[in-house]
Amino acid sequence: MQDLIVQRPQGLYCPPGDFYIDPWRPVERAVITHAHADHARPGHAHYLAASQAEGVLRSRLGQGISLQTLAYGQQITHHGVTLSLHPAGHVLGSAQVRLQYRGVGGGQTWVASGDYKVAPDATCTPFEAVRCDVFITESTFGLPIYRWRPDTELFAGINAWWAANAAVGRASVLMCYSFGKAQRILSGVDASIAPIIVHGAVQTLNQAYRAAGVALPETRTVEEVSAAVDVKRALVLCPPGAAAGPWVKHFGDFSDAFASGWMQLRGARRRGAYDQGFVLSDHADWPGLMGAIAATGAQRVIVTHGSVPVMVRYLSEQGLQAGSFHTEYGDAAVEEQGETVPQAPTTAQSGP
């Protein structure tokens, strides 16, 4: 039985539809799950994405790209392949790709999830489980040690750290990815504590979020702040690369922190020498991954980027037909502007 999605050097390919999903080499037709740099790359002739992703895609890839958009759940047919996009809960405009084609796979339904998150997030449409026969899942945090705390606890911790620093006139520099994490942090912190200053890369994306109807508190760049006291008490959001360069000198004596799922690992914070590490991820944790897979009803699961061997072994032990695709996702989750991520563990850890 022929598969509806296969690997090619350019990326994940749908043979009957003659299009790719998140290709990493230039192609004629690319279906994009979301606008992170490892999934939405420049150079494709034509792009298809969810309507909510348009602003961030154009801000990152250029206003002039040839982009067709679909509302969530809207169906189109291309070369006999029925395609629709469904919320992935990862970042603004993120989508899962549902495919069905009568002539391939015996009419089976395939879903390529891209990256996804099942936890609540005020800045994007919640994850929607899509019933299918074959599910392609990420495994970025596909180890049982990764279990996220409720957002109420997370943001209470960030607010307490920021307020304590502001009380003594020290800026709070919080490093995070400019797209997705920064906006999620902004949606959850207490903006009444002190001013919020953001790096220019964050501000550009904030504008795209606001244009899409996402409510965010007021943010200013350092050039827009006049009073020195505001700088010294501010919460500062920036990509990690900015915190390593001269830009951060604007804030004098500051406390620094990193917001990432990798902060679940004690060693990651030690290696970065951060004052604080906040466990915040725009990916599903282990229970989230397992719950999402089960909700699809899929009997075949294909695992991509992350803890692939662990996930494949565990899913096989649960009686599913599990395999993997080799992709080039994840490496460029090291986002633009020099953003870097503490390294994940290099040794495989056993399932529960």
- pLDDT of the residue at 265: 83
The chain-wide mean pLDDT, for the chain, equals 91
Locate all alpha helices (DSSP H) within the chain, ordered by sequence: 54-61, 151-167, 181-188, 200-211, 228-233, 240-243, 266-272, 286-296, 308-317
Confidence of residue 273 (pLDDT cuts 50, 70, 90): confident
264 shares a domain with 296: no
Is there a domain that residue 351 lies in?
Answer: no
- Residue 319: CATH number of its domain: 3.60.15.10
SS (H, E, C) 270-323: HHHCCCEEECCCCCCCHHHHHHHHHHHCCCEEEEEEECHHHHHHHHHHCCCEEE
The answer to whether residues 166 and 98 belong to one domain is no
Residue 308 and residue 288 share a domain: yes
Sign for the CA dihedral angle at 140, 291, 143, 262 comes to positive
Q: Is the pTM of this model over 0.85?
A: yes
Q: How many helices (H) and strands (E) does the chain have?
A: 9, 18
Asked whether residue 54 is assigned to any structural domain, the reply reads: yes
Say whether pLDDT at 153 is over 60. Answer: yes
Residue 223 forms part of a structural domain: yes
Q: How many domains does the chain have?
A: 2
Q: What is the largest CA-CA distance in the chain?
A: 67
Residues 155 and 85 in one domain: no
Burial class (CB in 10 A: 0-12, 13-18, 19+), 77: exposed
In a shared domain, residues 268 and 289? no
pLDDT (mean) for 199-215: 96
Q: What is the pLDDT of residues 95-115, one digit of tens each?
A: 999 999 987 656 899 999 999
Residue 120, in any domain of the structure: yes
Residues 178 and 36: their CA atoms lie apart, in Å, by 10
Q: Is residue 219 part of a domain?
A: yes
Higher pLDDT, 213 or 267: 213
87 and 191 together in one domain: no
| Percent helix, percent strand, percent coil in the chain, to nearest 5 | 30, 25, 45
Tell me what the mean pLDDT of segment 319-336 comes to: 78
Whether residue 107 is found in the same domain as residue 256: no
**What residues pair up with 6 in beta bridges, in sequence order?**
13
Pairing of strands 276-278, 254-259: parallel
Higher pLDDT, 341 or 96: 96
Domain for residue 122, yes or no? yes
Residue finishing a domain among 263, 278, 293:
278
Contact 234, 171 (CB under 8 A): yes
pLDDT of 1 reads 63
**CATH number assigned to the domain comprising residue 230:** 3.40.50
Q: How is residue 313 written in tokens?
A: 């072994």
- Mark whether 158 and 234 lie in a shared domain: yes
Q: With respect to residue 76, please indicate whether it lies within any of the assigned structural domains.
A: yes
What's the rounded Cα separation, in Å, for the pair 155 and 255? 17
Question: CA-to-CA distance for 117 and 288, rounded, in angstroms?
Answer: 7
221 and 89 housed in the same domain: no
Range of the domain at 177: 151-278
Share of the chain above pLDDT 90, in %: 82
Determine, yes or no, domain membership for 350: no
65 and 137, same domain (yes or no): yes
What mean pLDDT comes out for the span 212-234? 88
Q: Which of 27-31, 150-154, 174-178, 344-348 has the lowest mean pLDDT?
A: 344-348
Residues 97 and 192 in one domain: no
Q: How far apart are CA 89 and CA 126, in angstroms?
A: 5
The answer on 212 and 109 residing in a single domain is: no
Distance separating alpha carbons of residues 244 and 229, to the nearest angstrom: 23
